[in-house]
Amino acid sequence: MSDMTNTIKKVSKNTDNAPKNPLSTQTVAFSHYNYISAQLPINTTTDALVSNSLKVQATQCLRNIKSIVESIGHVMNDVIKINIYLKDNANSDIEDDIKALDTVYAAFFQGYLPTRTIIAVAALPMEEALVQMDAVISNAEGTHPQATDEMVKVKNSTDNAPKASVSPQTIAFSHYNNISAQLPINSTTGELVAGGIKEQTKQCLENIKAILEEIDVPLEEVVKVNISLQDISDIEAVDEVYSSFFPKTAHRNYVPARTIVVASDLPKHALVQIDAVVSHSAGTAPEVDEKGYDIVIEANNTDDAPKSPLSTQTVAYSDYNHLSAQLPIDPKTGEVIKGGITEQAEQCLENIKTIIESIDHEMDDIVKVTIQLKDISDIDTVNEVYKRYFHSDLPARTVIGVAAIPMDALIQIEAVVSNAEGTPPE
């Protein structure tokens, strides 16, 4: 990335007070956000997992996040979003696990809870780990040359979407709104909507739409969607409903970037759960007064990477590009490449590299990577491939094991990329 004085710079930091990983940076700040790598319940003094109690492990994950946040001069109330990955456990129910988690969760946030997504996954990077968490932090001072900016977080809720005591529906900061994962809950009854996957998908998207309408933002402003499913065979039914909410029109000729995660279970045993990242062109006070113009969304596809009618390869808005999750697909054939985990990891990363280079960026501009693996034991092999693609400070990173991946792939990778030049007219 250029070192010109008018260019925003990525700032990567580690602290000795939280677990370190040679394949990731604990926190990567860029512009008005910090991305925090997934934290396992590791005690930094012993460098080992804490006891196999979910409460104890959840507490340790949050302590590690707190140590990282404080090491960069922030507090836990600056957390915008938390993703919580619970290990699927035949001996416990996800609802019981969430209740156990919530007995320790709120104590880390004094009066200002972040937006939240919870899913159960097939495996985590350490076999005895029961939980893993990553986070996004507001960075009110910005990164150079934005050091004088001071912005405030704005949380919102509406009675027309489900409310939760543990998370707000949406938090706006700078140019983005992060929406808490929406379950297919009818806000009137407080219960899962009747019906199957189509009805549940529609309810999730109606909830997101209602939240956005409350803050005067249309669905057209969504830049990234994350869909969690329990059954991979439901994808086609989900896509049928999804496309009715995000059609390409004369007003908007793109669809958001997108990631599909096959969860082992979801809260309330729902069949589907959806969260979203939304552009917020007005900014948040005092930015709304300082920058009265609208920053535009830039959506891009290249023929040299796999295309999908249901997602855009990368959607840029303000200081970030959000990439759709990349499968190990050969763009020439449209099929998953032949070979094992090494070849598939290479293809995913090549696809990401191609997309990034098509918008005049490079791999070292990545601030966050999330890797899904069908077999968590493949992580060492993936790491050998992964580290060849970066030459500067490594991104923040999350790795999860999932029960299945679209197209029966072994791996899927998504990324968030810093966008130093902003998007027009910035």
Beta strand residue intervals within 90-246, DSSP E: 115-121, 131-138, 154-156, 170-173, 176-182, 222-229
Could you give the count of Cα atoms lying within 13 Å of 164 in the half-sphere of its Cβ? 23
**Residue 145 DSSP class:** T
Q: What is the pLDDT of residues 252-295, one digit of tens each?
A: 678 999 999 999 999 999 999 999 999 987 788 777 654 545 68
Token pair 């915008």 is found at: 80
Residues of the domain holding 382: 300-426
If one counts the domains in the chain, the total is: 3
Same domain, 115 and 69: yes
Q: Determine, yes or no, domain membership for 359.
A: yes
Looking up residue 112, the CATH number of its domain turns out to be 3.30.1330.40
Same domain, 26 and 129: yes
* Domain boundary pick from 268, 294, 320: 294
Peptide bond into 286 cis (omega under 30): yes
The DSSP line for 43-60 is ETTTTEE--S-HHHHHHH
Comparing C-alpha atoms, which of 64, 62, 58 is closest to residue 17?
A: 64
Q: Determine, yes or no, domain membership for 257.
A: yes
Q: Determine, yes or no, domain membership for 5.
A: no
* Residue 118 tokens, joined: 């919870």
Same domain, 281 and 341: no
Q: What is the pLDDT of residues 179-188, one digit of tens each?
A: 999 999 999 9
Same domain, 282 and 155: yes
Q: Are 171 and 115 in contact (CB under 8 A)?
A: yes
The DSSP line for 3-64 is --TTS---EEE--TTS--BTTB-SEEEETTEEEEEEE-SEETTTTEE--S-HHHHHHHHHHH
Q: Determine, yes or no, domain membership for 4.
A: no
Same domain, 200 and 166: yes
Q: How far apart are CA 305 and CA 347, in angstroms?
A: 10
Q: Determine, yes or no, domain membership for 51.
A: yes
Q: Determine, yes or no, domain membership for 3.
A: no
Same domain, 179 and 253: yes
Same domain, 270 and 365: no
Same domain, 138 and 181: no
* Domain boundary pick from 261, 294, 327: 294
Same domain, 169 and 283: yes
Same domain, 122 and 183: no
Rg of the chain over all Cα atoms, to the nearest angstrom: 20
- Give, for all 426 residues of the chain, the pLDDT tens digit: 334 456 788 999 999 999 999 999 999 999 999 999 999 999 999 999 999 899 999 999 999 999 999 999 999 999 999 999 999 988 889 999 999 999 999 999 988 899 999 999 999 999 999 999 999 999 988 888 876 667 889 999 999 999 999 999 999 999 999 999 999 999 999 999 999 999 999 999 999 999 999 999 999 899 999 999 999 999 999 999 999 999 876 566 789 999 999 999 999 999 999 999 999 877 887 776 545 456 888 999 999 999 999 999 999 999 999 999 999 999 999 999 999 999 999 999 999 999 999 999 999 999 999 999 999 999 999 999 999 999 999 999 999 999 999 999 999 999 999 997 777 764
* Domain boundary pick from 245, 274, 294: 294
Same domain, 137 and 251: no
Same domain, 155 and 278: yes
Q: Determine, yes or no, domain membership for 1.
A: no
